[in-house]
Structure 1
């Protein structure tokens, strides 16, 4: 059977799911790190083979009921972002809920070309965050559940990045799934402590301006700025190839992580494949998760919000091309090390404070004249623990198209150390790396469904 290049999805019903109990309206302050995140939606989708022993109507009923109960533990996702006249933003936890859409696709889920997310996902399987009204503010979470002709199901979610990073959002997805299975949440119950990421008195943010800049107003995700054509892919990388990359990077007694080795490899592929001029500077950003690194500051492991920094490495194209993989891995390692500590995050908090009312923006995101991309690791996300009661996902991935040059590796569904890698790149970048003789990634296959 030939694989269709396109398919139709019809949304037949939209409703709003609210918390199961009344939420006392309150304001959840944005932390200073929340304020460094652009106003964009992040999409996450979970694909399931046909749930046996239950109907799609029962699936929908169970998901809505458990979502309502999960909102009691995570009231932020049922609230609204409200903007005041002076541009100040507030997260109002008012229990107004999230839109829940029911949809139907006209093909079998195994026929969908998920390796090409722009064609397969965008405008089909993930919802938009639709504003209620200017007075009510902007919703921060939405869900679309789609049934395919074979009975397969996709649960597509969109959340406002200003409210949560991907780690926090995955805490909520796991919490929601646990509620759906009537199991205890334990450490997945989100913590909304806001007394940790506070500025020092006096602030001390020496050298943080190397990585961040002040902007006013904050760049909007819907700005009408001409953009070069972008495209996205989801690739598979075997554990064997990951280990080879790490072995190639670990030279002269140095040891680097699998993520550092992969990032160095991709940096080299992009620069060599695009034939970048030798004298040009090339940038590679790494999203550093601070949640596990701020224990002395009292950061709980289930913190809900943004605890991310975006340092970046810069090197000349000539060096990236000619030096061995171990050289690029060390450059990346040193950048991660410089930010993976409490002082860096505290300095970022301080810098945001003294920059107000201007916004703070990662410098790599404005490097439009130099080849740049960002790697954000999802390797510790519990994507395949999101079991709502009818089995684990056979495919799960994030999907973010705000800026070109975004790469996120996540675990594969096989549990054997292999990865799935989402890339959102310029078309020229993607063509360059896919045609490179040393490119080792494979597009994911539809065979991922049904075993």
Structure 2
């Protein structure tokens, strides 16, 4: 998918029918949950995810909506942080007030068949229509951190769209909630692990210390598919945009720290942000002219050298020493101000997320995707598995137009635009 204007885009009228506040099914004691220092590396941005279902109902839409409300209330008993509100402390740092104020669930109707949804243009067809905004229910309330919208299309298909505040959760955490919500909805008795909200394992050291530089080392020549894809995308953007040879170019990879921090007690079901953004860099000449394995090696080394316990701990310490000034990942920095800097791109993998397993009791989704309209000039790229289940990928891209046009000019056609009738043929 790509965020560009399309001549074949078919607009549709959307009507908001109703909005409810869904509170946790079980009462809990109010408390303040501080954000971890890793949460504080995330700017105040929202992440959207949506799931499309083609005429899924053996029941009426009203009864299905009621079913979703009830199951959301039940899952919020465990994931109560999503029913809370963001507040700020005396130095303007955000904290989460776990007060069970609830999640806004909006019911909407789209006067168009689901097959007309233009997935090539999520900025036009999804954002502001199928995924809700995080807004205060009232003047007296504080900012919610999670919202849901369920949209019925004229053909009987529906879209379940969700929005969450990235400062509260990363995509891994959100998928924990979606998985548990779907299990509860279809009365699946399989036990899901409860989320862990304790921040004790991600505290700064008594004497915060930050690494001056990263150590680079080789770790064999076996590269992951994501590393090879990222290397290909990097090379493609530099070649097709005819980037000047001497310009320094970057590619960043979002890395989940949970598997790398188990030794210090960070569990697989930790809820929050455990992300680090290592990046590879080189002048355009080498990326353009060296073989693909060379660029994949740079990316591999950047991940291996940065995504370890010491660097996560250093990042935690760095945030501690700079509060309340935010820490910005270097992938978004345009050089040192002395020398011109080339293009940058940020890649995050959605390949581990079970987007097509979210069955709420009627059937699995026909299509699912994240929508993250942020990233500035660097942009944001996320490959996910295709719903076809044939090993192909759907690659979400939110990039500046010049980068989109550069990718689409590739004669190899490894990446091709998603078609307007994708949902009709899926």
Pairing 1:172-187 to 2, within 5 Å after superposition: 172-184=177-189, 186-187=191-192
Pairing 1:37-436 to 2, within 5 Å after superposition: 37-132=42-137, 136-184=141-189, 186-207=191-212, 254-367=221-334, 370-404=342-376, 405-436=379-410
Question: Bigger shift: 30-39 or 128-137?
Answer: 128-137
Contact kept, 8 Å, 1:8 with 1:124, in 2: the verdict is no
Q: 1:229 matched to which residue of 2? A: none
Contact kept, 8 Å, 1:269 with 1:439, in 2: the verdict is no
Distance 1:174 1:302 in 2: 12
Distance 2:30 2:213 in 1: 36
Distance 1:209 1:256 in 2: 20
Distance 1:188 1:325 in 2: 41
Distance 1:209 1:80 in 2: 37
SS in structure 1 at match of 2:73: helix
Contact kept, 8 Å, 1:44 with 1:396, in 2: the verdict is yes
Q: 1:444 matched to which residue of 2? A: 418
Contact kept, 8 Å, 1:172 with 1:188, in 2: the verdict is no
SS in structure 1 at match of 2:312: helix
Instruction: Give the deviation of 1:301 after TM superposition.
Output: 0.9
Structure 1 residues 411, 362: closer, same or farther in 2, change over 3 A?
Answer: same
Distance 1:302 1:184 in 2: 19
Structure 2 residue 7 is matched with structure 1 residue 5: no
Distance 1:149 1:450 in 2: 17
Pairing 1:8-23 to 2, within 5 Å after superposition: 8-23=13-28
Q: What TM-score do the two structures reach when normalised by structure 1?
A: 0.87
Distance 2:165 2:366 in 1: 25
> Could you list the per-position Cα deviations for residues 323-352 of structure 1 after superposition, in whole angstroms to 9, with x for gaps in the alignment?
110111001000010122211111111111
Contact kept, 8 Å, 1:273 with 1:435, in 2: the verdict is yes
Contact kept, 8 Å, 1:175 with 1:185, in 2: the verdict is no
Contact kept, 8 Å, 1:3 with 1:112, in 2: the verdict is no
Question: Bigger shift: 125-134 or 267-276?
Answer: 125-134
SS in structure 1 at match of 2:342: coil
Structure 1 residues 362, 77: closer, same or farther in 2, change over 3 A?
Answer: same
SS in structure 2 at match of 1:200: coil
Q: 2:4 matched to which residue of 1? A: none
Distance 2:242 2:192 in 1: 48
Instruction: Give the deviation of 1:189 after TM superposition.
Output: 2.9
Q: What TM-score do the two structures reach when normalised by structure 2?
A: 0.92
> Could you list the per-position Cα deviations for residues 53-109 of structure 1 after superposition, in whole angstroms to 9, with x for gaps in the alignment?
111101110111111111100000000010234212211110001111101111111
> Could you list the per-position Cα deviations for residues 385-421 of structure 1 after superposition, in whole angstroms to 9, with x for gaps in the alignment?
2110011111000001122410001111122322111
Contact kept, 8 Å, 1:43 with 1:156, in 2: the verdict is yes
Contact kept, 8 Å, 2:258 with 2:267, in 1: the verdict is yes
> Could you list the per-position Cα deviations for residues 298-319 of structure 1 after superposition, in whole angstroms to 9, with x for gaps in the alignment?
1111111000001111110111
Instruction: Give the deviation of 1:4 after TM superposition.
Output: 5.5
Distance 2:351 2:213 in 1: 27
Instruction: Give the deviation of 1:355 after TM superposition.
Output: 1.6
Contact kept, 8 Å, 1:208 with 1:347, in 2: the verdict is no
Unaligned regions of 5+ residues in structure 2, if any? 1-6, 336-340
Structure 1 residues 429, 376: closer, same or farther in 2, change over 3 A?
Answer: same
Contact kept, 8 Å, 2:117 with 2:423, in 1: the verdict is no
SS in structure 2 at match of 1:76: helix
Contact kept, 8 Å, 2:374 with 2:398, in 1: the verdict is no
Aligned pair count? 408
Distance 2:53 2:206 in 1: 51
